[in-house]
Each structure stands twice: as structure tokens, then as C-alpha cells.
Structure 1
Amino acid sequence: MSGDRLRVTEIFYSLQGETRTVGWPTVFIRLTGCPLRCTYCDTAYAFYGGQWMEIGDIRRRAAEYAPRYVTVTGGEPLAQRPCRDLLTALCDEGYEVSLETSGALDIAGIDPRVIVVMDLKTPGSGEEQRNLYTNISKLAKKDQIKFVIANRRDYDWSRERLEEYKLDRVCEVLFSPSHDQLKPTELAEWILADRLPVRLQIQLHKYLWTDARGR
């Protein structure tokens, strides 16, 4: 396993901008490549390029920051087969490890210690048809489901999926406004009006830094 290689776009230390650990110092490992092309994607620079790194070298880079939290993100991390081995290796180091995934690839076989943060792609993403709904049954209470919402149509669609799959009984559900497309206040008002059992999430890092890369 230590000899497995992954293509890595960047490894950096920053504050977590999203999810349950928002605000906590975190090491981010951004893997290269993604089979999706969401309209609002803010990490298109991770589609190509990167450098090949062995899992052992990635572990050593992460350890330099002595983190409590490590997030593996992309791109789409699961597009690279050794990603699961990397996740297990990081868990073995004692970190609290999370995986950010699009929900378009099978999440079976991920180390149960990993917190899975899985998107369900809304119509506004342009990738709604890629949702793999069988993944929902593979989530645990510790995991999170995220909807990135660009407009009222996305909100209504997300509310319907919330009710259809009873997602709040599966795990925590996050509704996040697409940055520069939907005002957070507007989304907050919709959530309150409908009394939805979801958490409003904004991307903290985009308010702290104008250049999100490496942040």
C-alpha cells in the first residue's frame, strides 16, 4: 500500500471552510482529476496536471503540520483507485479524516473511520444525471450529504430529494448556496419558511480569502 501512487494537485494547511469541522485548522490533500464538469466548479485547476506521489510521501507531507483533521478532496478523489488506501493510511496515523466526493462514484469499501461528505448534484450543477442514489444506503450517521444550491429550482429539487429519501434520518444534511449565484440570506429564509431539518452552510474560506486556491 505504501508504494501506491496518486496524482496530487496540492497539499496545504488552512481552515476548514465547510462541513461539520468548519473553522478548524486542517490539512487538505487535493487529488487530480474529475469525471464531472459542474457549472459552478471552483477547482477546475485540479482536472489536469498534478504530480505523482507515493502514499508514504503524502503521509509525511501531512504530518509536517501535525494536524488533527485531514480532508481528502479533488477533483473527485475516488476517480483514483488508491484513494481508499490513502484514506486508510491517514486514519492509521490517528487523524480525523474526511472525504469530499461528488456522489457520482461508488463509496463502497471506504474505511469506516472516514467521514464521507457526499454531494447530491442539483439541476443547476449540470450533472444531476450523475447522482448515484445507491450511495445513500452506504452512508452512516457520522457522514454528511451536501446540496450546492444555485437558485430556487435547485432548492425545490433538493427539498424533494430530502423528503423522498428521508435524508435527515440518514445523516446530517447541508444546504450550501452556490457562491456568487445565490445569496446566503435568501437560502436561509427558504429553509426557515419550510422548517427544513438541514444545516445552512456557507464557504468560509471564500469570505476570508479572495483566492481559494491553496486555501
Structure 2
Amino acid sequence: MKSEDLRISEIFHSLQGESRTVGLPTVFIRLTGCPLRCQYCDTSYAFSGGEMQSIASIIDQAAQYNTPYITVTGGEPLAQPGCVELLRQLADKGYSVSLETSGAIDVANVDARIVKVMDLKTPASAEEQRNLYANLDYLDSKDQLKFVICNAEDYAWSKAKMTEYQLAQKCEILFSPSMGQQDPTELAEWILADQLPVRFQVQLHKFLWGDVAGK
């Protein structure tokens, strides 16, 4: 095993279900492991297991699909130090690469070409204390900051964080209802009533395939 090898849960081709590239055919590289335990997590199967693979092998598998879009996700991909090198090499190959990260691990060393899709964990996530607010300094206009909203208290908290850190001036803001906990229509109506400068999103893949892994 080489130091840059990574433990991979799965590599699959699907439609992007969230973020700015929603609906586009995308290769997903899911890394194993996560130090967080959000109460709404839908990828707990990626907490353990997986298979050690070289970066070259990972890139070869991604190249089988005719799409320029790659998302590196988890788990928490940055929990594996080799993730930063994987991201760099994917960008070197000319891919449009996004990183889905919890916001709990330092993103300072992530290649500037990578689109960061980063969470701020709300109180109802049960992991609010893990937010690393210094990461906000590394977000720019190409990046996206996601709030998964579970209830009215989460919504109010998220609005307050937007004001406190002037988040709409840093990057695009995503508000997403937690499936089965926050009614999507209600969240959409709150956003419209408050005239928030955010992108409302639902998880497209769950409407198409439910909670099927590898989709």
C-alpha cells in the first residue's frame, strides 16, 4: 500500500442530485470514513469497509464515463489525507471537480481549481459543534455553502449565520430540506417570504432512485 492510496466505498456514474450542476451526468468517487455522525446521514454504509485503491486506478475508473464532471464525496473525503492529492490530479486531467465536505476539516490545502460544496452543520444535525468556521475564509464565488434544514429553528439559525458571516457575499448559498424532517414546500415559502439570496434545492437522486446506494 502506497501512502497516497485511498480507501474507496464506491465509484459510480449518476446524475448530480444537488448543487449548481444538478441534473448533469457525473462520476461520484465516494471515500470511506467520516468522523461525524449527523442524525440525518444517508451514507452511513460508507463509515467503514471499502477497498484500498491507488489514485491512478481511481482516475482510470472515472475515465470510463463520458463526462467532464467528477464529485469526490464520502463519508468525509478529507478525513483521508490522500484526498487532496486525488483532487489535484483530477483537476490536472482537466475534469470539472467538486468536493463535498462537512466543513469540519481544514480545506486550506484543497487545490484552488476544485469547487468546494461545504456544509455548515445546523443545531438539529447533532454535529453543530464540529463546524470549523475558519473554513469560510477559503470559500469564493465558485464555491457553495450548504445548510441542511431540519426545522424552523434550523432555518432561523441558518439565516443568522448568513448575516453574521456575510455568507451571500462569499459564495452561493444552498438551503436543502432534510428528507422526511422538513417539508420542502414550507422551506420554499420561508425563503420567498424572507427574500433570501439562496438557492433552494431538493435531492434529485432521491426522487429518482430513493435511498439506493450507488445512485
The TM-score bracket by the shorter chain reads: over 0.9
Q: Distance in 2 between matches of 1:75 and 1:174?
A: 20
Aligned pairs for 1:56-67 within 5 A = 56-67=56-67
- Displacement, 1:66? 2.5
* Residue 156 (structure 1) aligns with: 156
Q: Report the residue type matching 2:143 in the other structure.
A: D
Q: Report the residue type matching 1:71 in the other structure.
A: T
* Residue 203 (structure 2) aligns with: 203
Q: Report the residue type matching 1:208 in the other structure.
A: L
- Displacement, 1:68? 1.1
Q: Report the residue type matching 1:41 in the other structure.
A: C
Matched-pair contact (CA < 8 Å) for 2:12–2:214:
yes
- Displacement, 1:211? 3.1
* Residue 125 (structure 1) aligns with: 125
* Residue 187 (structure 2) aligns with: 187
5+ long unaligned stretches in structure 2: none
* Residue 20 (structure 1) aligns with: 20
TM-score, normalised on structure 2?
0.98
Q: Distance in 2 between matches of 1:64 and 1:76?
A: 24
Q: Distance in 2 between matches of 1:93 and 1:213?
A: 27
Q: Count the aligned residue pairs.
A: 214
* Residue 5 (structure 1) aligns with: 5
Q: Alpha carbon RMSD of aligned pairs, Å?
A: 1.0
* Residue 107 (structure 2) aligns with: 107
3-state SS of 2:191 partner: helix
3-state SS of 1:17 partner: coil
Matched-pair contact (CA < 8 Å) for 1:121–1:147:
yes
Q: Distance in 1 between matches of 2:210 and 2:187?
A: 22
Q: Distance in 2 between matches of 1:31 and 1:59?
A: 13
Q: Distance in 2 between matches of 1:213 and 1:77?
A: 17
Q: Deviations over 1:14-35 (max 9, x none)?
A: 0000000000000000000000
3-state SS of 2:97 partner: strand
* Residue 142 (structure 2) aligns with: 142
TM-score, normalised on structure 1?
0.98
5+ long unaligned stretches in structure 1: none
* Residue 44 (structure 2) aligns with: 44
- Displacement, 1:93? 1.1
Q: Report the residue type matching 2:25 in the other structure.
A: P
